[in-house]
Amino acid sequence: MKIIDAPVIVTSPGRNFVTLKITTDEGLVGYGDATLNGRELAVVSYLRDHLVPLLLGRDPHRIEDTWQLLYRGGYWRRGPVTMAAIAAVDVALWDIKAKAAGLPLYQLLGGASRDRVRTYGHANGHDLPALFDSIDEQLALGYQAVRVQTGIPGLGSVYGVDSGSASTSSTPVEEWDTAAYLRHMPHVFEEVRNRFGADLPLLHDAHHRLTPVEAARLGRELEPYHLFWLEDVTPAENQQALRLVRQHTTTPLALGEVFNTVFDYQTLVTEQLIDFVRSAVTHAGGITPMRKLCDFAALYQIKSGIHGPEDISPVGMAAAVHLDLALHNFGIQEYSGHTALTNQSFRHGYTFEDGHLHPGEEPGLGIVLDEELAAANPYDPAYLPVNRLRDGTVHDW
């Protein structure tokens, strides 16, 4: 079998998605997600101009060899653009291999380790009543674990609350005040626990905004509310910062959605400074290295918590759910769902019921992209917002 074509398709059914479609001389087609929120076209160029010419004529079955060729052959290692592009190729090749075998992808990854994949949804509210309504909505959708994000008194819109994780071109600046945030959050979790009880798994994302000592304080003050995890407390690129946080709190820690290789986790994993690895299949080089990362983490009793916001396309979501079903050290899968038009554009075999996903039994990933619909919804430039402190300083993220 040979790769004969690999077009890159960009579509915006509510937000931008980049999809690689690898076709073969035997008529098999594989899809890979290459979406990098806010920097989409850089990955399109990396694929079209640099990787696709290397793929034409190659045997699609040689997944590990192709991965090593693209990673090492580029000389310049790592980075989100490079690794999202390589991820798209890797996932598309796994899709083709599984279709050639006539099996759902999870069967090639060792088969199912569980019946279904637990997910968490996103509850957001500017104030407590709105947050309670949002948690009620998530529970009504069937979710059995919920991430809680809320506005802060005295601040305007807060990332992950009013703007969700949607990128925006009209209001890219949000005001931030760490002292106000640290004062408010324990009260929020106290109220949520009082209303929703002790059993509901609750998560929270600090979006890299804290210093190590601030993060340690937050983790300690949230201990009475027994979070499932506290995510991205400090800027991720400083792995050593987690030593201080870890020494001071038993709140479980999750980190790594901005990481793209196993090297980014080396200190965090070997020193057991976190409890969950958060990379997306889409951003960390695909199924091949994610499997290695999760197996490495397993040696240290660290579990997976694969990134699954709405800016991961259904292709990337399908890849994650196949991996989740197969991994022994699966923890939880983020799943915030997609717009109806997105689900129409990317027909998918995975299903969501009672807060759990299943990848389905179709051969491969179980995805078909409707290219006419994709063409009808072209690229729409958008930016993520930045945080500025009250004096105008750009803050950590």
Site residues, Co ion (CB under 5 A): 205, 257
Enzyme catalytic residues: 159, 207
Q: Which residue has the tokens 């601030």?
A: 214
How buried is 341 (Cβ within 10 angstroms: 0-12 exposed, 13-18 middle, 19+ buried)? middle
Partner interacting with residue 282 (select from ligand EZ4, Co ion, none; CB below 5-8 Å by kind): none
Taking the least distance from each CB to ligand EZ4, the nearer of 19 and 24 is 19
Helix (H, G, I), strand (E, B) or coil at 115: coil
Kindly state whether residue 309 participates in binding ligand EZ4, applying the rule CB under 6 A.
Answer: yes
* 119-145: b (≥16 Cβ within 10 Å) or e: bbbbbbbbeeebbbebbeebbeeebbb
Taking the least distance from each CB to ligand EZ4, the nearer of 95 and 311 is 311
Shortest distance, position 181 Cβ to Co ion, whole Å: 16
Structure tokens at 26: 């035997």
Q: Which residue is nearest to Co ion (CB)?
A: 205
Kindly state whether residue 279 participates in binding ligand EZ4, applying the rule CB under 6 A.
Answer: no
Q: Which residue has the tokens 């890797």?
A: 90
Q: Which stretch binds ligand EZ4 (CB under 6 A): 86-94, 104-112, 236-244, 306-314?
A: 306-314
Kindly state whether residue 165 participates in binding ligand EZ4, applying the rule CB under 6 A.
Answer: yes
Shortest distance, position 281 Cβ to ligand EZ4, whole Å: 13
Binding mask 226-245 for ligand EZ4 (x = CB under 6 A): --------------------
> Using CB under 6 A, which residues numbered 93 to 152 contact ligand EZ4?
none
SS3 content of the chain, % helix, strand, coil (to 5): 40, 20, 45
Taking the least distance from each CB to Co ion, the nearer of 214 and 257 is 257
Partner interacting with residue 311 (select from Co ion, ligand EZ4, none; CB below 5-8 Å by kind): ligand EZ4
Query: Which residue among 33, 90, 162, 205 contacts ligand EZ4 (CB under 6 A)?
Result: 205
H helices of the chain, in order, are 40-45, 52-55, 63-73, 80-101, 105-108, 128-140, 178-196, 212-221, 241-248, 266-270, 287-298, 314-326, 340-345, 371-376
Spatial CB neighbours of 98, under 8 Å, sequence gap ≥ 6: 104, 105, 107, 108, 363, 364, 365
Residue 337 backbone phi and psi in degrees, to 5: 75, 175
CA nearest 71: which of 5, 108, 79? 79
Q: What is the DSSP letter of 140?
A: H
Shortest distance, position 120 Cβ to ligand EZ4, whole Å: 10
Shortest distance, position 81 Cβ to ligand EZ4, whole Å: 14
Shortest distance, position 317 Cβ to ligand EZ4, whole Å: 12
* 234-263: b (≥16 Cβ within 10 Å) or e: bbbeebebbeebbeebebbbbbbbbbbbbe
Shortest distance, position 232 Cβ to Co ion, whole Å: 5
Q: Which stretch binds ligand EZ4 (CB under 6 A): 109-117, 132-140, 305-313, 337-345?
A: 305-313
Kindly state whether residue 33 participates in binding ligand EZ4, applying the rule CB under 6 A.
Answer: no
For ligand EZ4, the binding residues (CB under 6 A) are 37, 165, 205, 257, 307, 309, 311, 334
